[in-house]
Amino acid sequence: MDRRSFLRASTVGAGAAAASSLAAPALAQGQRTLTMVTSVPHGFAVFDDAAVYFAEAVNAMSGGSLTIDKKAAGELVGGFEVFDAVSSGQADCYHSADYYFGGNHPGFYYFTAVPFGATATELSTWYYQDGGIELHHQLGEIFNLKSFLTGTTGLQPGGWFRKEINSADDFNGLKFRMPGLGGQALGNTGASVQSIPGGEIYQALSSGAIDGAEWIGPFADERLGFQEVCDYYYTAGFHEPGSALCAAFNLDVWNDLSDQHRKIIEIASIATTQWSHTQGIANNGAALKRIESQGVKLMQFGDDVWDLFGRASVEAMDSYMDDPMYAEIRGSFEDSLKKSSEWIQRSDAAYVAQRERVLRA
């Protein structure tokens, strides 16, 4: 049985109830509606904002001939169930973060973020200029998907903690929410890592079920109220330096779309990525000031902690190198990162350092 047949067969029983409520693509007088399931509740800053922007862009550019009907996590399927729903054909497309689905294939981690990996600019460079999008499509097609980067949260902070981190030893036994390869790396430090949906983080923190968590950034985190239940916020993190979001379409649905609708989706995906990146940058500074004014201590990890993160991250990333597709994706990603980083360090980074020196003189 091939992968596509297996997925369809395996979801018949588990997904029967959900399938009965999921709409097939609606076609009427040249108009088409696609059901898009998402991984977060309505109104989640940055994450859901990107899904809304994408859907509205597609709707507007198509003149109403293609409509994206967005469904929040839990409305049709759970936040972590969107991959299987779309892969099996129960839903038309999803908007999520592909590292949630690294259990299906570890190559998906690179299409959200990996520890000590690419910034948002570097990730876009790899994706659009150095072969990343082609690899994303190849990987997606194994699972009956056509995938596109559709949003970015930018750099994600080290996270919220109920106690101060004074040394690398403080991670032993720490119960912390962090998904993806970053979460696996954190597990290598001795932490007890949890991967729970964004909509459940606040309750887990407030109840003491976890000792800390990372989410997106000050603007998004403030809206969820983490400053009410944690005293320490580490503003620089190792795990997601430029996290991408993704829109993925059932491959059969994608192949049935017109060339015009496909191009609209591609352009809307790129526009969403640019828009959401600037949204975070524009709002994070002010949100951080408000968070600090409420008594939260803004912190940075010590060098020994960063060194621990580095060793743990290499161990996590190396653990999948026996998978040829993963190895190809990682090799392509790191080759692009090396090239872009060498230029950025000599140009943008050097300029910013001089700008700060001159204007502060």
Dump the DSSP string for 79-129.
TTSHHHHHHTTSSSEEEE-GGGGTTT-GGGGGGT--TT---HHHHHHHHHH
Q: Within this chain, do residues 123 and 19 fall inside the same structural domain, yes or no?
A: yes
pLDDT above 90 covers what percent of the chain?
89
Task: Give, as one character, the DSSP assignment of residue 72.
Answer: -
| Highest mean pLDDT: which range of 6-20, 30-44, 309-323 | 309-323
Query: Minimal CA–CA distance to 150: which of 70, 217, 33?
Result: 70
pLDDT in tens, 53-84: 999 999 999 999 999 999 999 999 999 999 99
pLDDT in tens, 240-294: 999 999 999 999 999 999 999 999 999 999 999 999 999 999 999 999 999 999 9
Residue 190, domain member (yes or no): no
**119, pLDDT greater than 80:** yes
Tell me which of 317 and 19 has the higher pLDDT. 317
Q: Within this chain, do residues 336 and 265 fall inside the same structural domain, yes or no?
A: no
pLDDT for 348 equals 94
pLDDT for 195 equals 87
Residue 223, domain member (yes or no): no
The whole-angstrom separation of Cα 268 and Cα 210 is 37
43: left (phi over 0), alpha (psi -120 to 50) or beta: left
Average pLDDT for 221-234: 96
Dump the DSSP string for 162-192.
SS---SGGGGTT-EEE--HHHHHHHHTTT-E
Last residue of a domain, one of 252, 282, 312: 282
Last residue of a domain, one of 254, 282, 310: 282
Average pLDDT for 340-345: 94
How many domains is the chain built from?
2
pLDDT in tens, 134-144: 999 999 999 99
φ, ψ for residue 287, nearest 5 deg: -65, -40
Least confident stretch, 10-19, 72-81, 226-235, 332-341: 10-19
Q: Within this chain, do residues 248 and 360 fall inside the same structural domain, yes or no?
A: no
- Could you list the residue range(s) of the whole structural domain that residue 359 is in? 331-361
Q: Within this chain, do residues 276 and 349 fall inside the same structural domain, yes or no?
A: no
End-to-end CA distance of the chain: 69
pLDDT for 168 equals 94
**Residue written as tokens 């097939």?**
24
- Decide: pTM greater than 0.85: yes
Residue 222, domain member (yes or no): no
The whole-angstrom separation of Cα 153 and Cα 278 is 9
Residue 116, domain member (yes or no): yes
Q: Within this chain, do residues 340 and 278 fall inside the same structural domain, yes or no?
A: no
The whole-angstrom separation of Cα 37 and Cα 50 is 13
Q: Return the ∠ at Cα 117 (arms to 305 and 139), rounded to 5°.
A: 135
**30, pLDDT greater than 80:** no
- For residue 57, what is the domain's CATH number? 3.40.190.170
